[in-house]
Structure formats: structure tokens, C-alpha cells
Structure 1
Amino acid sequence: MRQSPLASGIFYNILGVFFVFLAIQDVNANSFGFFTYLLILLATLDIGTGLRLLFLHFKLKNGQK
């Protein structure tokens, strides 16, 4: 089943914010390490993908008018 770009974009942004939260918690507990950089990388990819999908949704919506 295929989701709309809006739903996928929101999901990816929520996931990215969650990874940012985990990275902050990890830095507070253990300082910077491999796991922290991995979480930052995942958050960056998820937020970037989420924003791209949200822009795609609005571009498609404006193209239908």
C-alpha cells in the first residue's frame, strides 16, 4: 500500500526528531562517540528526506490547480 508524500514526510520528520533526541541523550550520558555520530547521521538523512517529501507534496498540490 502506497502512502502520500505528506504522510511519509511527517513520519520521516518525526523519526528524525526522535534520533536527535536520542543523540542528545547519548551525548549527555557518554560524550561523543561512534553511536552519537551514527544517530546524527540518521537524523540528518531522515529530516532531509522528510522535508523533500513535504516540498514534493506541496508542489504536486499546487500543480493540480
Structure 2
Amino acid sequence: MTRHPRLFSLPYFILGFLFTYLAIESVHETIWNVTTIALAALAAFDFSTALRLFFTPRR
């Protein structure tokens, strides 16, 4: 059974949206706090991984 990379990109998209939502909710007075920046960095990593998996060519 072959594993399809497009199927594995779905959890990364979901985690990216979750981390983006948590980053937006963690902003209290300013955006420049450690929690917001860390969550935004995790979301960016998840979105980039999801896009890389989604656009991998089929063999």
C-alpha cells in the first residue's frame, strides 16, 4: 500500500490553522510577545510543510 503525501498534508494544514488561531487569541496588548511569535512560527512551519507535501510530484 502506497502512502500518498497529499493525505499527509491535511494534518499539517489543520495544525497550521490551529496555531494561527491560538496566536491570534494570545495577543493581549501587543503582538511582540514570545507566545505569539512562537505560535506564528509553528504555524508557518506547518503551512510550509503542508504545501511541500501537497505539491510533491507523483512517481
Same fold (TM over 0.5): yes
Residue 5 of structure 1 is matched in structure 2 by 5
Q: Which runs of 5+ in 1 are unaligned?
A: none
- Determine whether 1:37 maps to 2:37: yes
Superposition TM-score, scaled by structure 2 size: 0.83
Residue 55 of structure 1 is matched in structure 2 by 55
Give the Cα separation in 1 of the matches to 2:29 and 2:8: 32
Computing the radius of gyration over CA atoms, which structure comes out larger, 1 or 2?
A: 1
Structure with the higher fraction of residues in helix conformation? 1
Superposition TM-score, scaled by structure 1 size: 0.76
- The alpha-carbon deviation at position 6 of structure 1 amounts to 1.3
Q: What CA RMSD, in Å, does the superposition of the two structures yield over aligned residues?
A: 1.8
Q: What percentage of aligned pairs have identical amino acids? A: 35
Moved beyond 6 Å, runs of 4+: none
- The alpha-carbon deviation at position 10 of structure 1 amounts to 1.0
